[in-house]
A and B are shown apart, each in its own frame.
Chain A
Amino acid sequence: MRINSLEALKDYKSRLCSVSSGKTSVLMSLGTCGLAAGGAKVADAIRAELDKGLSGKYEAVSVGCMGLCYCEPTIELRDETGRSAIYGHVTPEQIPAILAAGLDGEAAGATKVKRTWYYPEEEENKDGVLQARIALRNTGRIDPEKIDDYLKYDGYQALGKVLKTMAPEAVSKEILDAMLRGRGGAGFPTGKKWQFAAAQPKGQKYMICNADEGDPGAFMDRAVLEGDPHSVLEAMAIGAYAIGADKGIIYIRAEYPLAIERLQKAIKQAREMGFLGKGIFGTSFDFDIELKYGAGAFVCGEETALIHSIEGKRGEPTFKPPFPAIQGLWKKPTVVNNVETYANVAAIIRKGAAWFKSVGTPGSPGTKVFALAGKINCVGLVEVPMGTTLRDIIFGLGGGILNNRGFKAVQTGGPSGGCITTKNLDTPIDYETLKSIGSMMGSGGMIVMDEDNCMVNIARFFLDFTCDESCGKCTPCRIGNRRLYEMLTDICRGKGTEETLKELRTLSNVIKDTALCGLGQTSPNPVLSTLDNFFEEYEAHVKEKRCPAGVCTALLKFTINDNCIGCGLCAKNCPTGAISGKIKSKHVIDQDKCIKCGVCQQKCKFKAIDKK
């Protein structure tokens, strides 16, 4: 069925909403991590239970990620009035009890989870609720494979509104007034990008969605694409109308098969209902979207590199200007926006720029999705208003540090970002403040580290990543980063000197100033921020040849303590024959022969080997 007017769409929506089944929905979180954690078996158990006679009371709904990754598999029971109960760590065996208990009862043995978010579009902020979901408004509560579910939550009404009531210039202006900034990390005003492309002469233009989510530890784009694909399609169509494009391309990682499958289904459904294709909403506006697949290159998240990759070339970046908005794909004006940026657009159009600005900070309105991971209790996706403090995110939503260890740092911005320490935990975060404390927004990955993580080793890890992913086009990035990596390796192996630390800083600044694209210009950030915040750890490595966190094996010393009963297992397994001693008496390790492989410690059954 095709929808040709805004009225018809609203009618259709109210008909969808008025059909009351009277049933309680059982929302089953079946995104990639839900499935990996065993969500499919839970879903099978739920369906089997419904078949046994509960199908009059419940309805099973597959949804995307709810953001509660730490307690997957998760399910939510929700009735039509919105009352809800969320269960985490669900096993198939618990299902009968959970369904028998329903919304009011208590299921013995099952774990209830508190909802920590609200929807600014529909509800007032309740005191103490930290999360505000705009980009993730539908993720985890609609079936991503059913367009009707999206339409129930006002889907495609924003597209109808712009096509029927707004001039293209007014659309760009609304987005500019809302001060929506690029959620991919750089924070460039989206409305401005659209205005640049719109100002180009009429003709072929392109609207691209950057879904090449490559930052390790960031998975919000995947969650949106898997959980709410239509919100991206709708926003691309809105942007296309604003700039005068008739063709859209989603450039997506080949590593996201589930997201690809759901996008393909969504595109097909949107075409059938006339939200994509020719004569959208019965107007003369044509727009269609196709998918292009990445092939594993981090640098393709950079927009010029991404464009080259779509053209079938090596994904190497080129110098800007010309900006893609002037000369992009096939040399035509092109807008590239990130998934999360698009996910905000429809809400802004529906509710207006002023509403959007009521959330967040004056310089960075709205919300940001963060992927919390690392040494933290509640790993997951959270969406908070800009200006929320790291303390609220890590200790409030994240539930604090794993095993009650001490917090050491949080790394934001992926390989381009930096480490933030205790002293900045209370900084309200937005684009500017993160920059001022030596990190950056990036795509929103937040990796929490505790006392057991060595910061020199972390910096080395990121440089290893950058060396791997550098495209090799410009010298500072290709050779400079390799040298940084070698210096950090030397320090981790005890071969560094104080001179190395000075060189490290100088070279980092040179690379920052001279590299061609964003990847190279930001690659020394992990080094600089750890040098600034954890200089004493670097010093311990070079002066005392000691790794305070006990991670850099070359700097460790293995010794045998009095727990040793002289079983000889360690000596038998030592690859270099460094351990000697009589059976039934304490053994010793010859430090000159020891290669610090740690096998003795792994094999010892009596905790008799110390590592310091």
Chain B
Amino acid sequence: MTCCCECSKEKALDKLMRLEPEKTSELTAFIDGLPLVAGDVETNRGFLVETLHRAQGIFGYLPVEVQQVVSERLGLTRSEIYGVISFYSYFTDKPIGRYKINVCLGTACFVKGASKIVDELKAKLGVNEGETTADQKFFLGALRCVGSCSLAPVVMVNNRVYGNVTPDMVDQILADCQD
């Protein structure tokens, strides 16, 4: 398969190998372990979502080069892969901050004032929802219900859960994020 922008398979894979050799080998090893069937696009497509989950787990996000490697190995077009990435909110093609601050905006959190927490975080971090701070430290996002409605409003920072959050607690939450 060739592409008009000269992004040949070797180039993407080589570039990734040069930049992130260990991560790249982990990804290719994972793909090689899948029971793919050469030429059977329908079957191979069934492994796309789990491959992307794995790739994002390894790289933290899904840069163009990773998309291209996945595209070549699974025999799917890049546009199709990008279509899937952009459809699901879990996948992102932009690097995200080391601390993923996610404010739950499920109904229970909303009726208990989660939007005030979002406003406070926006003001403190100087970014909008879905953005990462310039120093790559914080990512501010919103989730739809983490199912901990008894603790509403809830903020998750990576895997840590803060419950019954008030705008006053935002400073402390940010202070807890020490590298």
Contact = CB atoms under 8 A, between A and B. Distances in A.
Nearest to A602: B167
B53 A254 contact: yes
Interface in B90-116: 90-91, 105-108, 110-112
A64 interface: no
Nearest to A449: B111
A216 B145 contact: yes
Contact of A295 (B53, B105, B144, B147): B53
B89 A293 contact: no
Interface string B37-59: 00000101111111011000000
Contacts of A458: 111
Interface stretch (A8-16, A32-40, A43-51, A356-364): A32-40
Contacts of A311: 42, 45-46
Contacts of A447: 107-108, 111
Contact of A296 (B89, B105, B112): B89
A461 B110 contact: yes
B88 A217 contact: no
B158 interface: no
Interface stretch (A158-166, A333-341, A367-375): A367-375
A32 B148 contact: yes
Interface in A55-104: 69-70, 72
B161 interface: yes
A293 B50 contact: yes
A188 interface: no
Given A255-B143, A312-B47, A447-B108, A36 B87 contact: no
Given A33-B150, A36-B148, A295 B90 contact: yes
A255 to B, nearest CB: 7
B157 interface: no
B117 interface: no
Contacts of B149: 33, 69, 217, 219, 371, 373-374, 379
B60 interface: no
Interface in B143-175: 143-152, 154, 161, 163, 167
A411 B161 CA distance: 26
B107 A217 contact: yes
A311 B80 CA distance: 13
Contacts of B89: 295-297
A219 B46 contact: no
B83 interface: yes
A285 B129 CA distance: 51
B84 interface: yes
8 contacts: A36-B151, A36-B163, A216-B108, A217-B108, A219-B147, A293-B50, A309-B49, A316-B87
Interface of A: 32-33, 36-37, 69-70, 72, 213-219, 222, 254-256, 292-298, 309-316, 330, 371, 373-375, 379-380, 411, 414, 445, 447, 449, 453, 458, 461-462, 465, 469, 471, 602
Interface of B: 42, 44-50, 52-53, 83-84, 87-91, 105-108, 110-112, 143-152, 154, 161, 163, 167
Given A33-B149, A36-B148, A217-B108, 14 more contacts: A33-B151, A36-B161, A37-B151, A255-B143, A296-B91, A297-B88, A311-B42, A314-B83, A373-B107, A447-B111, A458-B111, A461-B107, A461-B110, A469-B144
Top-9 shortest CB links A-B: A216-B106, A219-B147, A69-B150, A295-B88, A373-B149, A312-B45, A373-B108, A312-B48, A296-B90
